[in-house]
Structure 1
Amino acid sequence: MSSGKTAFVTGANGFVGSHTVRLLNERGYNVRAMVRASSSLARLDGLDFQKVEYDLAAPRSIDVLIHAMTGIDLVVHTAAYVDLGTVDRPLMRKVNLDGTKLLLNAAQSANVASFVHCSTVRTLGDTQGTYAQGDYVRTDPDFASCYDETKTAAEAFVLARNQPGFATYSVLPPGIFGPDDPHFGRALRTYMNGRLPVWPAQDRPLQMVHVRDLADLFLRTAEFGTPGTRYMAAAGEITMGEIFAKLGALSGRRPPIQLPEWFVRALAAVMDPIGRLTGQNLALNNERITFLYDKIVLTDASRSFEELGWAPMPPDEILTSIAAERDKQG
């Protein structure tokens, strides 16, 4: 892999961004890390980077970004407003869509060679049992959430900007797991600590990837990928029930009781309007119901394996590493 190059990482203090910075350090890259002025840099402790303060939610002149990207070989764009349910929809569009456009314009003006966008499998919509590859054409006419809609539009814009001298790529992760995971990881740690008695939709198929393998795929995509292409980041498939069974065997916990679908839907029907009225993003809402039961996205990452030589940890190893990390932290 390349060394001696300079990479610019957006959302560098986040879960995915920080692991990307760490891997870039290991691969010999110089790193410029874009963060908000108010951001905690705890995840970046001990890493080597030059801090660039910029907020896509309150953007300054594009000239600030162009200056920060001058001399950059690669942009890895991981910054995003990620949530379901009661969200600030105009702000989400500003960050996820307008922010991506701004970064692309700045990168091209600064003569950056490669731009890798961290997208999401949700841009594919419900794949109706089909395992989508990079050339999959979305057939689902409806968006499950504002997040899905804004990321889909951003991805289309990224790929449309590909041209000679400015290579753009999109990497589509499914569920992202690993140390300090603020999403799935929080629930799994709660379970292993014996405080998660119930969980819905345990038969739902779930594809997963370890965050470090996702970072590796970003770099492989920029190094070996075909410009203007989408690469799937699914390391394997599992169900939540199987996840609980594996982690239960490692931690000595009984699997949580599966809540019936009718009960979860009824509860969400009550909680969704309450959340909208109060401005609170409650644990259940209509968008989460759609995610749990109504729109299942399945992908085929064979292009990433074969074209890029990507060799991620399979689900069983990911879960073993999560349990080991929990034991180490106590």
Structure 2
Amino acid sequence: MDDGKLVLVSGASGYVASHCIKLLLEKGYRVRGTVRSLKNAEKVNPIRKLDPSGAQLELVEADLMQDETWPRAVKDCTYVLHVASPIGQGASQAFIDAAVRGATSVLRACGNEPSVKKVVQTSSTMAICDGNNPPKSKYDETDWTPIELQNSGWYTQSKVLAERAAWELWKSGELKNKFDFTVINPGFIVGPPLTDSTGSSMTLAIHIMTKPVIPVLNPNSIDVRDVAEAHIRAMERPETNGHRIIVADGAPITLKEYGLQLKKVFGPLGYCPATTVLPQFVIWIASFFVGDAGQLMKMQFDKRVDNTKMQELLGMNSWRNPLDGMVDMVDELIERGLIKKTEKWEQTRRRNK
């Protein structure tokens, strides 16, 4: 419980941001969330439901590509969680530009707002390692993914360049207000969404539940509820100042393992989750013709990350099993109609209510 300090959460309707807002409200913080448009009821209404009275939560408009919107957003805030990331599919320089500009715009606004004491920015383990990194038994926060344009995907580039730009600006001495700064680098995020906003995690979950085959993909995973907890702990704990912190289970989980877990739970309810792995050479051929297949080729790696900082600096010595988080995610996607309801699923849901 806190004494009503005001926390800004950017990208309020997003997957991670909405969970951060929920947890902050539960802990007694006042929250200001940013959305691109207050007129978009589909995005705004699920967030407002987190605080029906409106006593602790306000929403304001801000855009990653509009620098002038951020000074008003950060005004009077003690903490800022910069979680927002651009929306888009496929290779796009504009996507990368939005990520970098958003990170620097938020930090510049905080640098002119004396009330801001700390900023926590969301990055990704993709900024630490992907299929392009030199072999290593474990990757940690000293590692950066090499992003030669011809050899890295647009998503990875956006994460690396946005995080590097933020660190460089924070360390430059340009910012008048000397706030503290921490970056959270989560792995592949699973767990139940609070909004209908879909991202790569939910797209993959839907793919496993509705397609006959799955790609070779072995991500380091983490539950979205643990990611939210990590953000708030990073915000509150001074020992995290100036650190990048990997937030992920240390061992990768294959999409086949996810498929088998989903088959165990949802198979009896009339679903046929994919457990057959698409041969890598098929994805390689497709990568010459389909942009998304090219991205999968960049992500195909089986690499372990060192989550020591997560345990020592954040005090997170235990976390949810990502396999259970995937089950919770799929169940919520079915509830929201993003995956078709079966009669057996509806019967089971009615019995459990």
Which TM-score band (shorter chain)? Answer: 0.7 to 0.9
Q: Aligned in 2, Cα 1:42/1:207: closer, same or farther, shift over 3 Å?
A: farther
CA contact (8 A) 1:84 1:288 kept: no
CA contact (8 A) 1:177 1:209 kept: yes
Superposition CA RMSD, Å: 2.5
Q: Which residue of 1 aligns with 2:90?
A: 85
Q: Structure 1, residues 85-104: CA drift from partner, whole Å, max 9, x if none?
A: 332x1x22332111211110
* Cα displacement (A) at 1:254: 5.8
Q: 1:34, 1:139 → 2: CA distance? A: 29
Moved over 6 A (4+): none
Give 1:184's match in structure 2, choosing from 197, 201, 204.
201
Q: Which residue of 2 aligns with 1:230?
A: 244
- 1:319 aligned to 2:334? no
Q: Aligned in 2, Cα 1:76/1:152: closer, same or farther, shift over 3 Å?
A: same
1:322 corresponds to which letter in structure 2?
M
Q: 2:71, 2:160 → 1: CA distance? A: 25
Give 1:230-249 correspondences, 5 Å limit: 230-236=244-250, 237-249=252-264
Give 1:66's match in structure 2, choosing from 62, 67, 71.
71
Give 1:173's match in structure 2, choosing from 186, 206, 209.
186
* Cα displacement (A) at 1:198: 1.2
Q: Which residue of 2 aligns with 1:117?
A: 121
Q: Aligned in 2, Cα 1:77/1:267: closer, same or farther, shift over 3 Å?
A: same
Q: 2:129, 2:289 → 1: CA distance? A: 26
Q: Structure 1, residues 196-219: CA drift from partner, whole Å, max 9, x if none?
A: 211121xx4221111111011001
CA contact (8 A) 1:97 1:154 kept: yes
| Percent of aligned pairs with the same amino acid | 24
Q: 2:112, 2:158 → 1: CA distance? A: 24
Mean CA deviation greater in 210-219 or 229-238: 229-238
Q: Which residue of 2 aligns with 1:76?
A: 81
CA contact (8 A) 1:84 1:287 kept: no
Aligned positions, number: 307
Q: Aligned in 2, Cα 1:258/1:317: closer, same or farther, shift over 3 Å?
A: closer
Q: Structure 1, residues 222-249: CA drift from partner, whole Å, max 9, x if none?
A: 1114211001110353111111111111
Give 1:286's match in structure 2, choosing from 289, 294, 298.
294
Q: Structure 1, residues 97-149: CA drift from partner, whole Å, max 9, x if none?
A: 11211110101211210000000111123343432222x23373536123322
CA contact (8 A) 1:85 1:286 kept: no
Q: 2:62, 2:315 → 1: CA distance? A: 34
Q: 2:165, 2:145 → 1: CA distance? A: 18
Q: Aligned in 2, Cα 1:109/1:290: closer, same or farther, shift over 3 Å?
A: same
CA contact (8 A) 1:196 1:256 kept: no
2:7 corresponds to which letter in structure 1?
A
Q: Which residue of 1 aligns with 2:220?
A: 207
Give 2:162's match in structure 1, choosing from 145, 151, 154.
154
1:222 corresponds to which letter in structure 2?
M
* Cα displacement (A) at 1:176: 0.9
Q: 1:119, 1:139 → 2: CA distance? A: 12
Secondary structure in structure 1 of the residue aligned to 2:63: coil
Q: Aligned in 2, Cα 1:20/1:259: closer, same or farther, shift over 3 Å?
A: same
Q: Aligned in 2, Cα 1:22/1:249: closer, same or farther, shift over 3 Å?
A: same
Q: 2:75, 2:283 → 1: CA distance? A: 51
Larger proportion of strand = 1
Q: 2:279, 2:79 → 1: CA distance? A: 47
Q: Which residue of 2 aligns with 1:276?
A: none
* Cα displacement (A) at 1:184: 2.6
Q: Aligned in 2, Cα 1:269/1:323: closer, same or farther, shift over 3 Å?
A: closer
2:31 corresponds to which letter in structure 1?
V
